[in-house]
Amino acid sequence: MGYVRDVYPMPIRPSIISKRLRRKEKILGDIIVCCISILAGIQLTTSLCYTFFPEVLIRKCKIPPQKVVESHSIPDFIEDLGEFHFHKGPKRKLMLVGVMTSNKYFNSRDWAIQMTWTKTIPGDVVYFVGNSTDPAPDGLPLIRLNRVPDNVYPPQGKVFEMLKYMYLNHVDNYEYFVRADDDVFIKGEELGSLLRSMNSSENVYMGHYGQGIPEEIGKLGMGKDFFYCIGGPGVIFSHKALKILAPNLDNCKGDTATFHEDTELGRCVENYLKEQCKSNRKVRQLFYQNYREVKGTFNHELGAKESHAITLHPVKNSSYTLNLIPVYCGMLCLDLSLSLPHLYSICNVTYRIVLSRSVNPTTTILAHIVPKKSSYCPTS
């Protein structure tokens, strides 16, 4: 066996050792000098900057604390409700409708809604604007969403903030939550019947299904076969669905794939609620989107489609919103299950027409109801 092997390293000559040591020392020294120079350089640069450009550095240091102070001093939501009170009873009310609007529509679209279909809703209707500080007109219950700008379209940030507000403050007081545009007409009695026929303890995300325009399909950041609810004709959430969605709304708001609003809400639902738009061809007709008239006047003689629908969108010109109520009330008149006082409470705006039980829209209505600036009182 190779027993005798050189176990000890070969002796090295002393002259070589001292040479190596000296080289190591030199390298170490160089490194130290280099570090000291860098530190000195940084120090010098900083002092020079402070001397010649103090505002730059000071601003850099101070921005974070200022931001913190700001976000604490302005609340995320400001309620400007006037005489209005939210339902707070032990038994849930059927629906809370949130109308997404902006300050420029206070005295047109919002006024028209307040005069017309608000009265037909079995529940409450409130209006949501962004961080506008314009005063709310009398009688318009308003929530200001301070974390989003007001006059930005599509109202992508608004929808997430609105649902968050509804969740934080009212999720247990209503069965259903409706996301509505300010250019939609809702037949509240009919929507009520539809919602009463469903179960609000199930995940409901309902409306007019869509996949986007052909060029966009597959580019909206959601599954190719996924159907979302288009925004215009209204989107319904059950309180159960809102509870599941709510903790994720900030994520959805901060992680968007497009500038759209309804498709982003759809993505949020796809990712966290894991439901498609509860819809089919029949439901689609109930949430009626007027594709032919893009400006959506609804000023022509209304036919079977409009009579059958529960919501009509878009009604761009508010005077046509006012025109729609006689049509609607005319239909309600034929519903003998409604008591006359109840009919009045809905159709008071069109009092005379209702009494004559005429189904025809009237053009004289505008002569009786004229929007006064910042007021919802008819001047008849």
**108 residue type, one letter:** S
Q: How far is it, in rounded angstroms, from Cα 183 to Cα 235?
A: 14
Q: How far is it, in rounded angstroms, from Cα 141 to Cα 374?
A: 13
Residue 60 CB neighbours (<10 A): 9
Greatest alpha-carbon pair distance for the chain in Å reads 126
Q: Footprint of ligand NAG on this chain (CB under 6 A)?
A: 131, 133, 149, 199, 201-202, 317, 319, 344, 348, 351
Residues 6+ positions from 140 with CB-CB distance below 8 Å: 82, 106, 110, 111, 114, 127, 376
Q: Both tokens of residue 202?
A: 């199930």
Q: How far is CA 247 from CA 158, 163, 179, 228, 244, in A?
A: 16, 11, 18, 20, 7
Cβ proximity to ligand NAG, 32 vs 366, nearer residue: 366
Which residues are bridge partners to 181 per DSSP? Answer: 100
Nearest-CA neighbor of 241 among 201, 212, 276? 201
Measure the N-to-C terminal CA separation of the chain; round to a whole number of Å: 122
Write the DSSP assignment of 126-150 as a string of letters: EEEE-S--SPPPTT--EEEETTS-S
Q: How far is the CB of 185 from ligand NAG (least distance, A)?
A: 15
Q: How far is the CB of 210 from ligand NAG (least distance, A)?
A: 27
Q: Both tokens of residue 193?
A: 């019947």
- The C-alpha torsion from 367 through 371 and 372 to 377, rounded to 10°, is 90
